[in-house]
Structure formats: structure tokens, C-alpha cells
Amino acid sequence: MSETTILIVEDEPAIREMVGFALDRAGFAHLEAENASEAQVAVADRQPDLVLLDWMLPDMSGIELARRLKKDELTAGVPIIMLTARGEEEDKVRGLEAGADDYVTKPFSPRELVARIKAVLRRVAGEAGEQPIEFEGLVLDPLGHRVSAHGKPLEMGPTEFRLLHFFMTHPERVFSRSRLLDSVWGRNVYVEERTVDVHIRRLRKALQAEGHDRLIQTVRGAGYRFSTRD
């Protein structure tokens, strides 16, 4: 599987360092931001798999940032865990109502935090893995292992199906050939990078009948992305 990236949004350097060390030991990659402005840039540029968000930030409250991330179509699906010194039930409810998926009250142990992260990621992956995904009439049904375009069934091989599923669950993000190999084929399988190009061509051909091949875009010098934008 590809490396999971966690964004730490925390204004206290010591806590960022402690959390970053715990994430490294648990096998996660991580990004850091010390305020909401840096966090918004990091989310837009890198699209992390999960955000650890401090309640109190110098330029904007974590609650307000959570609301903004959940309102944005591109970041609405990114899970958020609030880091808060507020233990009162009312405050926890406010965080969850703002879109947070979980909360951890300070002080917390690194082991507890990593366990909460893994639990949220499992839950989100399970929800994403079962529900049909739809973009502009293109529908992928993970459970039924079917793809249709405007109600018409499309035929494609199992690798193309996995590739399309990965793209549709990570829209508007650019992936290199090596990242696609890790995520779709797996790190323990030796496949040359040019194999990705072959399957991309096959996937586009399968999507061509209804014009959805344009959603699989080549980004020169970087890789590929699934995008509804021209």
C-alpha cells in the first residue's frame, strides 16, 4: 500500500515534534503546519489522508478550519481528528458537529493517538470501499465490481477496475507512476513503470464510448490524475 500522510496542525513545536515522532514510528508520513493558513496551503498542495487539528490556533480556531475543510468539495472527504485541551462534553460535540471524525483530549499518549488514527482510517476506508462512486454519470460499484456510464455497463479488466477505483477515490490529485504502482499493484510486486501507461491506455479505451476517457488526464512530467476539470 502507499504511504499514508498525516497533516499535523499544531502551534506548539514540542507537541508537533512528539506527534511527528510517533507517526514516523507507526509508519506514517507526516506534514506540519503551525497555523490555519499553513494548513490550508498544505491540504491544497499535498492532500493528506488525515488531519490532526489543534482546537486553538493563532490565526483561526480549529473548529472554523474544520468547517471550511468539510465545506470544500476537494477536502470534504479528508478525515479530521481534533486535538483539544477541552474535555467538556459540549466542546466535544461542537467539534464533531463541525465535521471532526474524532477527538483526542490533551494530554494524550502517542500510543492512544496512533490507535485513534488507525481506527478512523479503517472506518473511512470501509465506508469508501462499499459505497458506489459517481462522477458525471460514470458510476463504479465496488461491491458489485461493476462500472457503468450513463446507465450503460462498461467492460474492463480487473487491473483497470482497480486503477479506476483508486482514481475515483482520490480525485483531483496527481499521482506518479511509482505511486500508482504502489497503490494499485502493491509494493511487493515487481512491475515496470511503463506498465502503468499500458493500463492507462486500456482504461481510457474502456471509458471512451461515453466520453469519460477525458477524466483520466496526463500531467506532463508528473504522472496522471482523475479530474472533472478541463
Neighbours of 73 (CB within 10 A): 8
The string of DSSP codes covering 100-166 is -SEEEESS--HHHHHHHHHHHHHHHHHHHHHS-EEETTEEEETTTTEEEETTEEE---HHHHHHHHH
Topology, domain 5-129? Rossmann fold (3.40.50)
| Predicted pLDDT at 128 | 58
The pTM of this model reads 0.58
| Predicted pLDDT at 129 | 58
| Predicted pLDDT at 1 | 36
pLDDT band at 20 (very low <50, low <70, confident <90, very high): very high
Q: How crowded is the C-beta side of 101, counted as CA atoms within 13 Å?
A: 23
Amino acid found at 28: F
Query: Domains of the chain: which residue ranges?
Result: 5-129, 133-226
| Predicted pLDDT at 187 | 56
The yes-or-no answer to whether 5-129 and 133-226 have a common fold is: no
Topology, domain 133-226? Arc Repressor Mutant, subunit A (1.10.10)
| Predicted pLDDT at 191 | 67
More confident residue, 130 or 212: 212
The string of DSSP codes covering the chain is -PPPEEEEE-S-HHHHHHHHHHHHHTT-EEEEESSHHHHHHHHHHH--SEEEEES--SSS-HHHHHHHHHHSTTTTTS-EEEEES---HHHHHHHHHTT-SEEEESS--HHHHHHHHHHHHHHHHHHHHHS-EEETTEEEETTTTEEEETTEEE---HHHHHHHHHHHHSTT--B-HHHHIIIII-TTS---THHHHHHHHHHHHHHGGGTGGGGEEEETTTEEEE-S--
pLDDT band at 75 (very low <50, low <70, confident <90, very high): confident
More confident residue, 195 or 138: 138
